[in-house]
Structure 1
Amino acid sequence: MQNRVPLKAVQAFEAAARLSSFALAADELFVTPSAVSHQIKLLEDQFGVQLFHRVHRAVVLTDSGRRYAEEVSAAFARIDMATRELGRTAKSDILTVHSTPSFATQWLMPRLARFSSLNPDVDVRLNASTEVADLVAQAVDIDIRYGLRRLPPAGTMVLTFPPETIVPLCAPALLEGDNPICSPEDLAHHTLIHSEVCLVSWRDWMRQHRKVKLDIARGLRFDRSFMAISAAVDGLGVCLESLLLAQRELDSGRLVAPFGLDGPKVQGYTFNLLKSRAELPKIRSFQDWLFDELEREGG
């Protein structure tokens, strides 16, 4: 027996069962009542089951018809819901980006409007934490990580950011006053701000400036770069941070680099994605845009 039935017959049955009328079903489907009756008769003949009692001009579901109507109605409701959702989401792709908090706050968020203007059909969902994202289990498209690189899981592509420069940064007010910062030795009179996740520490900086003696055991300590940068903007001391992360504060004049923009370079950030998804348009567009931005600002 052929179990596959024409969709028109199922539609006619669902409408007639819901409206308890072949005539009303016909009006809804823009066909004649006889066409509805014919489609339902096809179902009944194919399966050898009576679906309706014909009582004078009314129709009443049989027990078999009622059970079938419950399943068919539920299926049509799911189709309707899926269609509504498709109408809401089909106009855009959602790109899920996971990032370290400092890169998300200091670099990515201020620039997302540029990406959106170039890619109006892509909506970005940005998640930030220090945890390593599972690109498979967590449905994350891109993971931007910082720090020492471990062996990536199989199937993962890792792209390295351009090197970033680490230099002392402070509020402009610290260049004036009773103890103005004019040379590295002057840092001895100011509070050091330690960014504990930065790959270059004040101890590393002192190795390159052997004549400078600083009490690196003292000072303010933060486990997020954006907090160290914020503390420096507020005039709480001098931080040793990345020009990549502090570019906005430098451009606005809220921070200055008292000893210039030359300093040790590190490759701290990586762009991680699944090889199997690398050529998806939304991922490729974001990758190309991000590295173009990094190159433009670095150049």
Structure 2
Amino acid sequence: MRELPPLNALLAFEFVARTGSVRAAAESMSVTPGAVSRQIRLLEEHFGTALFQRQGRGLILTLPGNAYFQQISVHFEGLRRAGQVLQRNAGRAVIRLHSFTTFATRWLIPRLAKFQMAYPDIDVRLTTASEWDDDMDCDAAIRLGNGEWPQRHATALVKNVLMPVCRPTEGRKANRDLDGLSQHTLLMVRGRPDDWQLWCSAFGIDMNTLPHRREMESSALAYQAALEGQGIALAQRVLVEDELRSGSLIAMDNYQLDCGSLTYYLVWNKDSPKESTLMRLEAWLTTPL
């Protein structure tokens, strides 16, 4: 394999090819025009061909020179972009955080926005999905469970209180009990298939007496369907508090199920090299707004 040409010569060639001027290249490289010319000659000797020809007071590329410039210019531009990214991120700690989509949009993102303003030296890069993926590559994650994951640090973020919610109508406002539940469509969530069964068991209801069901891709879609009057969603109270305050959703307040330790946790590996940074994020997320 033939050796690469001298890197200083390559840099001089790229500057002159881009500007058409030895003097401009010399100023950019903080050297003399003579030094740039020597580097160009060195490169031409390396390849055994002329790369430039004079045109008036400037230089233009020869056909071989132009072909070579077209191939290497994209790499120089990539190096410049990489340097800009590195400079922007210099001194900033990065946390790659993964979360469930609905939890992120309704609870996490407003808190992260304020965290980023309070800690500009920490860059939180958030990814989301409707269901958990064990192969997710991240520094920390928002997970739903009982808080027990081997070799993981886990801190509960919210209370997980489940309750049926729906769009308010005169009939629903007056009758928020179990008697009429079988007349309505239950909005099931694919990623949380056991929620309705858990709630029904807690209040002594046979799921078989509730035949009208519709499966939704995510909790966010179930809440939206409830807002549009398409059925009753079993909501996590902390995620629909705005709608409950505004009255766009009403809840069966007498039938709230506190799931105890089964809730959302901030989780990361116990041996994480970013532990001190993650602890700052944890402290922020566990402090009430």
TM-score calculated relative to the size of structure 1: 0.62
Equivalence for 2:266: 271
Match of 1:218 among 189, 196, 211: 211
Partner of 1:63: none
Shift in alpha-carbon separation, 1:178–1:44, aligned structure 2, 3 A? closer
> Which residue of the partner structure matches residue 100 of structure 1?
100
**Distance between the aligned counterparts of 2:250 and 2:172, measured in 1?**
18
Give the Cα separation in 2 of the matches to 1:288 and 1:164.
19
Rounded to whole Å, the distance in 1 between the matches of 2:230 and 2:72 is 63
What pairs with 1:242-281 in structure 2 (closer than 5 Å)? 242-260=236-254, 262-266=256-260, 267-274=262-269, 279=274
Aligned-pair CA distance for 1:36: 4.4
Percent of aligned positions that are identical:
25
Please, which of 160, 166, 176 is the counterpart of residue 162 of structure 2? 166
1:87 equivalent in structure 2: 84
Q: Read off the aligned partner of 1:79 and give its amino acid letter.
A: F
8 Å contact 2:44–2:50 — kept in the other structure? Answer: no
Partner of residue 234, structure 1: 228
Q: Work out the CA distance in 1 between the residues paired with 2:15 and 2:221.
A: 62
Whether the 8 Å CA contact 1:192–1:219 is kept in 2: the answer is yes
In the other structure, the counterpart of 2:118 is 118
- Cα separation, partners in 2 of 1:219 and 1:118, compared to 1, 3 Å: farther
**Displacement of 1:159:** 1.9
Following superposition, the deviation at residue 286 of structure 1 comes to: 4.3
Looking at structure 2, the residues matched to 190 and 200 of structure 1 have their Cα atoms a distance apart, in angstroms, of 19
Over 3 Å counting, the alpha-carbon distance change for 1:218 and 1:147 in structure 2 is farther
User: Cα 1:251–1:118, aligned 2, differ >3 Å: closer, same or farther?
Assistant: farther
- Flag the 1:269–1:8 CA change in 2: closer, same or farther, 3 A: same
Residue 246 of structure 1 deviates from its aligned partner by: 1.8
Number of residues of Structure 1 aligned to a counterpart in Structure 2? 273
One-letter code aligned to 1:108: L
Partners in 1 of 2:50 and 2:102 — Cα distance?
A: 67
Identify the range of structure 1 (242-251 vs 36-45) with the bigger mean alpha-carbon deviation: 36-45
Tell me, in whole angstroms, the C-alpha distance in 2 between the residues paired with 1:74 and 1:185: 72
- Cα deviation, residue 132, structure 1: 0.4
CA distance in 2, matches of 1:235, 1:34: 78
Distance 1:32 1:85, change over 3 A: closer
Q: CA RMSD in A?
A: 5.0
- 1 CA distance for matches of 2:173 and 2:73? 77
Structure 2 unmatched runs, 5+: none
Q: Match for residue 191 of structure 1? A: 184
For residues 178 and 44 of structure 1, what CA distance do their matches in structure 2 show?
Answer: 84
User: What corresponds to 1:25 in structure 2?
Assistant: 22
> Aligned equivalents of 2:25 and 2:277: distance in 1?
41
Measured at CA, do residues 35 and 102 of structure 1 come closer, stay the same or move farther in structure 2, by a change above 3 Å? closer
CA distance, structure 2, for counterparts of residue 44 and residue 50 of structure 1: 6
Cα distance between partner residues in 2 of 1:13 and 1:91: 28
Displacement, 1:181?
Answer: 1.8
Q: Are 1:290 and 2:278 an aligned pair?
A: no
**1:177 partner SS:** helix
Which has the larger Rg? 1
Are 2:155 and 1:157 aligned? no
- Runs of 5+ in structure 1 lacking a partner? 61-65
* 1:39 positional shift: 5.8
1:192 and 1:44 mapped to 2: Cα distance?
A: 78
Q: 2:172, 2:223 → 1: CA distance?
A: 23
Aligned-pair CA distance for 1:261: 8.0
